[in-house]
Amino acid sequence: MSGKTEMVVLVTGGSGGVGHAIQTIVEQNKCTDEKWIFLSSKDADLSIEAETRAVFEKYRPTHVIHLAAMVGGLYRNLKYSCDFLRLNLLMNGNVLEMSRLYNVKKVVSCLSTCIFPDKTTFPLDETMIHDGPPHYSNYGYSMAKRMIDVMNHCYHRQYGCNYTAVIPTNLYGPYDNFNLEDGHVLPGLINKVYTAKKNGTPVTVWGTGRPLRQFVHFLDLAKLIIWTLREYKEISPILLSVDEEDEITIKELAEMVVEAFDFKGEVIYDTSKSDGQFKKTASNDKLKKYLPDFEFTPIRQGIKETVDWFIKNYETARK
């Protein structure tokens, strides 16, 4: 190894979809002066201060990518709002405070577009986070995630810490959580269509299918998080999103999943189920100023790759 100080990157939530994607990108671009540690919930309960401290004591990271969170889809958020708030606040607080105590040079946390106000104008941008309360459907999770931005600025002002955050739009890809009750919309649809095709039954999509969303593949997000860790200098967060014109309806999304499976059965929309927020259109103008030539994975291609992965790994996939 050269005389350079080794960069030790601790990735919390490293066993999830984004964590696996970061691991893939790191392995493709090996650097001898870097050591990457991917933590899962089996390694430590980050909502417990003593367990978080033990992890930092063991690995002594110089950099942290904080992905760990209690997460879930619309209906789990509605059911467990207080748990989402309490546990995520504990995790975030412990990770950032241990990063300070162990002199971590930089922390990049992962937020979500659900942190933005419910009543707002579009497109969303990084200056609008605290302009009003988030949508009721994911209030606890949203407020806990929003507080990371507050903590990042407070740690910088009081201690000079270099903590920042990325705000991706809806995510998908291999190693996602495909649980029908607790997963997000796209992995849930993939599991539903797989099961319907296997059993010869209709597919039921929850809601009207009218809401609009922007989707980012895990591998694209992984590349952008690594770039943020190495190059991005601001404390203020950065939105990581496809273009506004790439926003699609949930109905269009369902049709793409059906197409990827070559499913010929009936598709039913259960309009008794909540749609959640109608739209969360995000601007990627700030990202384009930094990385004007970055190319995102086309949604149809990404869905087909994810469907193929799910079919191949059905027995071990999270569901």
For 305-319, the pLDDT digits (tens) are 999 999 999 999 998
The pLDDT mean for the chain works out to: 94
End-to-end Cα separation, the chain, in angstroms: 42
92: its two tokens: 């975030």
- Fold classification of 7-173+215-243 is Rossmann fold (3.40.50)
**What does the pLDDT average to over 202-206?**
94
Q: Shortest CA distance to 107 belongs to which of 63, 150, 149?
A: 63
Q: H-helix or E-strand containing 194?
A: helix 185-199
Residue extents of the structural domains in the chain: 7-173+215-243
Q: What's the predicted TM-score (pTM) here?
A: 0.94
Assign 277 a pLDDT band (cuts: 50, 70, 90): confident
Pull the structure tokens for residue 76.
Answer: 């789990």
Nearest to 260 by CA among 299, 227, 211, 209: 299
Encoded tokens for 99: 């990063």
Omega before 123 cis (within 30°)? yes
Q: Tokens 């014109």 sit at which residue?
A: 245
Question: Of 59, 53, 74, 67, whose CA–CA distance to 21 is shortest?
Answer: 67
Q: Which of 294, 195, 201, 184 is nearest to 239 (CA)?
A: 294
Q: What is the pLDDT of residue 76?
A: 83
Contact indicator for 199, 265 with CB cutoff of 8 Å = no
Beta bridge partner(s), residue 167 = 239
Question: What confidence tens digit (pLDDT) does each residue in 107-128 have?
Answer: 999 999 999 999 999 999 999 9
Lowest pLDDT segment from 62-76, 106-120, 164-178: 62-76
The residue-averaged pLDDT of 42-59 equals 98
As annotated, the active-site residues are 141
* Chain centroid offset of residue 270 CA: 27
The structure tokens listed for 171 are 């995510």
Using alpha carbons, list the distances in angstroms from residue 151 to 66, 121, 165, 261.
Answer: 13, 25, 11, 44
User: Which has the closest alpha carbon to 186: 216, 210, 225, 222?
Assistant: 216
Beta strands in the chain (DSSP E): 7-12, 34-38, 63-66, 106-110, 163-168, 170-172, 203-206, 212-213, 215-217, 238-240, 248-249, 267-270
Burial class (CB in 10 A: 0-12, 13-18, 19+), 200: exposed
